[in-house]
Amino acid sequence: MESNIEDFADKAISHALDLKCHYCDVRAEIITKEGLVIENGQIEHTVSMFDRGLGIRVLNDGAWGFFSVSNPSSIAEIIAATDAAVSSARYYTKKQKIRLASIPTIKDKIVFPVRKEPDIEELAKIGFDCDKIIHEKKRIIKSSVSIGYSKTKKYFANSEGSKITQEYADVVSELSATAHESGLTQSVDSTEGGRGGIEKLSDEKDIFDTAKFVSEMSSNLIDAKPASEEKATVVMNPDFVALLTHEILGHPSEADRVLGKEMAWAGGAWWAGNIGKQIGSQNLDVFDDPTISGSLGWYGYDDEGVKSSKTSLIENGILVNHMQNRETAEIFNAKPSANMRATSYKFMPLIRMACTCIGKGDWNPQEMIRDVKSGYLVSNMKVPSIDMKRYNWSISCQFAQKIENGELTDLLRDVIVIGTAPDFFKSIDACGKDFTVRPITNCGKGDPMQSMIMGNGGPTIRAVATVKSVKS
């Protein structure tokens, strides 16, 4: 990282302390992004971005203040930005002063591994090859391939003496295929990638296999049947489970939501006040883990300088913890869980998922299906709809199959799964061995809205929910 931006961060802290602030932290970041979107064999648009700046956060007289500055070039700019952060804190009065849980002072540098350095020309070639594969099916009328990388150098320092540098790269591709015939249109998409280099498009799942899959499945769905509405046993594959975990387990586990601090724009959590209570079956284990290597939620320290570690949220169906920052940890008498993150230096950090997952069980997924007399296998995430407290939910899947006497039969289209959180959690009777983490690239939270990347996942699970098709 450029030494002057680190010096600027250190100067902001010293100036904040001169102004008698109780606490100050600074995130200095240098971010590079390159990418492109290919549609039907043509480049639709490109992305090339370089950003450099600091986010200054102060705790002054019991209230937070924040100010960011892009591409600073002088100490005078840093002093002015720090003054602005302090001034913003003075606009707020608190009936109850903010207290921060204590954490160790850390001095560390982490460079995350990259086996194959990201290169936009090579990624473009991969993208065009994927686009060509998608169009091999004659029913395909539209393809879309978004592919690119980002590189981030982040320096964190606080008034307690921590100085932490992290350097990492992310490579992500989003593929979509749209098929049309006889007045019916069907689309299937998939996202691949993670923290690392170009190898992230071939490690867990080969990107060309994904291109073939979205093409074939969207084409096959033209011949699929709609589902009748019924409450039934539902087997959910890991990709669908990833979105379900994100929406009805991850978000309500964020302590700021539990406290009602996001009700105005993002909602709360139905299980507020239920720590220590049974909220699901004994088969349900949920955790958040920023140490899962290769995931988009992999990091060494969060944006408060808290060292990452696995946090258990639900154990054997019992709610045991929430995702905590230093402020909420004091309220809940808990430890900070390293979940404080911001999209970039331009934003205040928020409590965010890192890699939130349902724990694996001991079932073979095929055995889970063979054990079902009548039900459904629902596969691959699509669109969620969740109420403000994450209690009532519905999530559409990209495709489903009927299960009859333990066998997969009809392919089904336009399927949506509906349930209420407590009833659904209590009905989980089997979790598979096939644990998978999927990339999430656009989770929104906060005001102003911040879009964040992360991982979510789990195994195949079996439970009870209502299934129906949303189109005739």
> Per-residue pLDDT for 205 more than 90?
no
Q: What are all long-range contacts of 334-337, with beta carbons under 8 Å and residues at least 24 apart?
A: 334/101, 335/101, 336/101, 336/103, 336/304, 336/306, 337/288, 337/306, 337/309, 337/311
pLDDT band at 91 (very low <50, low <70, confident <90, very high): confident
> Per-residue pLDDT for 229 more than 70?
yes
More confident site: 220 or 93: 220
What is the rounded CA–CA span in Å between residue 246 and residue 356?
A: 7
The domain defined by 3-223 carries CATH number 3.40.50.2300: no
Helices (H), 19-169: 75-90, 120-134
Count helices and strands (H / E) in the chain. Answer: 9, 23
The burial of 293, by beta-carbon neighbours within 10 Å (0-12 exposed, 13-18 middle, 19 or more buried), is given as: exposed
pLDDT band at 173 (very low <50, low <70, confident <90, very high): very high
* pLDDT value, residue 471: 75
Read off the pLDDT of residues 430-467 as tens digits, 9 standing for 90 and up. Answer: 999 999 999 999 999 998 899 999 999 999 999 999 99
SS3 for 231? strand
* pLDDT value, residue 264: 59
The burial of 369, by beta-carbon neighbours within 10 Å (0-12 exposed, 13-18 middle, 19 or more buried), is given as: buried
> Per-residue pLDDT for 401 more than 70?
yes
Pairing mode, if any, of strands 392-404 and 407-413?
antiparallel
- State pTM to two decimals: 0.96
Supply the mean pLDDT for the chain.
96
- For tokens 């495709």, name the residue: 399
* pLDDT value, residue 204: 67
pLDDT band at 202 (very low <50, low <70, confident <90, very high): confident
What is the rounded CA–CA span in Å between residue 79 and residue 313?
A: 41
* pLDDT value, residue 447: 87
pLDDT band at 61 (very low <50, low <70, confident <90, very high): confident
Read off the pLDDT of residues 17-28 as tens digits, 9 standing for 90 and up. Answer: 999 999 999 999
* pLDDT value, residue 203: 76
Helices (H), 91-206: 120-134
pLDDT band at 266 (very low <50, low <70, confident <90, very high): low
Read off the pLDDT of residues 369-398 as tens digits, 9 standing for 90 and up. Answer: 999 999 999 999 999 999 999 999 999 999
Helices (H), 104-220: 120-134, 207-220
Task: Kindly give the interhelix angle for 207-220 and 120-134, rounded to the nearest 10 degrees.
Answer: 30
- What's the Rg (C-alpha) of the chain? 23
**Domain residues of the chain, as ranges?**
3-223, 225-469
* pLDDT value, residue 267: 78
Answer yes or no: are the C-beta atoms of 181 and 36 closer than 8 Å. Answer: no
> Per-residue pLDDT for 104 more than 60?
yes
CA 407 to chain centre: 34
What is the rounded CA–CA span in Å between residue 377 and residue 232?
A: 11
Answer yes or no: are the C-beta atoms of 328 and 351 closer than 8 Å. Answer: yes
- 116 DSSP 8-state letter: S
Answer yes or no: are the C-beta atoms of 118 and 171 closer than 8 Å. Answer: yes
pLDDT band at 261 (very low <50, low <70, confident <90, very high): confident
What is the rounded CA–CA span in Å between residue 199 and residue 116?
A: 6
> Per-residue pLDDT for 95 more than 90?
no
Answer yes or no: are the C-beta atoms of 363 and 430 closer than 8 Å. Answer: yes
Read off the pLDDT of residues 333-359 as tens digits, 9 standing for 90 and up. Answer: 999 999 999 999 999 999 999 999 999
